[in-house]
Amino acid sequence: MKVYGRNVLKEILNTNTPVKMIYFSNSGDKELKKLIEIAKIKKLPHTIANKKILTKLCNYEKHQGVVIDIGEFKYKDEYYIENLNNPFIVILDQLQDPHNFGAIIRTAVAAGADAIVIPKNNSVQVTPAVIKVSVGTIFRINVIQVVNLARFIEQIKKYGIWIYGADMHGKKYYEIDLKKPIAVVLGNEGAGIRRLIKEKCDDFISIPMKNHVESLNVSVSAGIILFEVMRQNESIDS
């Protein structure tokens, strides 16, 4: 997989994510030269090429003079969860939009989540666009891909994790105990959480609305709910 963007590269460098090759454009501006120097210091494979070549590599013109070949994206195994202490998990039930996925990843990292879980089928996967929208923060969190989401939820319940689904008919998010260990389930942009997945949830949380607004974009809802989880757990974590 070839990803792109200077901030994405910075996250790769800061997290020591393995790379196959870094392609820099020959534009020669100061920031780019600094990134090239860091790549040299870290002894990462890199080369200098014409901007048009970089555009061909990633099929995107606004690559900021940086394209990174990271190979196949490595999803974490679902059994990773059992080794977490007091986890905070974000579960996405058949999300479709890569921009929503990337935005939720960035929010989840900022709110201190330990992992994001997605189903293998009928769901957006990690793509260069997702990584770009996440501004590279995806390399700071574990993304878990599961075959059967309902079965996965049943399994993590055995670890003492409480499952809360985001649903318009749920309790107000600020009136419910969201202490860890916890998993927040966010549904598909149009259909919400599937019935089978709802049946696995322990409770439901909602965001109260005014002016007859029915719902928010799922990435906006994620921001509100995940930061409430962070707020309620701050005293525990400190």
Question: How much is the pLDDT for 195?
Answer: 96
pLDDT single digits (tens) 175-188: 999 999 999 999 99
Question: How much is the pLDDT for 236?
Answer: 64
Residue 58 near residue 2 (C-beta atoms within 8 A): yes
Q: State percent of the chain over pLDDT 90.
A: 89
Question: How much is the pLDDT for 79?
Answer: 87
Residue 92 near residue 146 (C-beta atoms within 8 A): no
- pLDDT higher than threshold 90 for residue 212: no
pLDDT single digits (tens) 67-116: 999 999 999 988 889 889 999 999 999 999 999 999 999 999 999 999 99
- Mean pLDDT estimate for the chain: 94
* Domains of the chain, each with CATH number or no CATH: 2-69 (3.30.1330.30), 78-237 (3.40.1280.10)
- pLDDT higher than threshold 80 for residue 149: yes
Whole-Å CA distances, 177 to 60, 74, 234? 44, 33, 13
CA 203 to chain centre: 23
- pLDDT higher than threshold 80 for residue 28: no
Question: How much is the pLDDT for 27?
Answer: 80
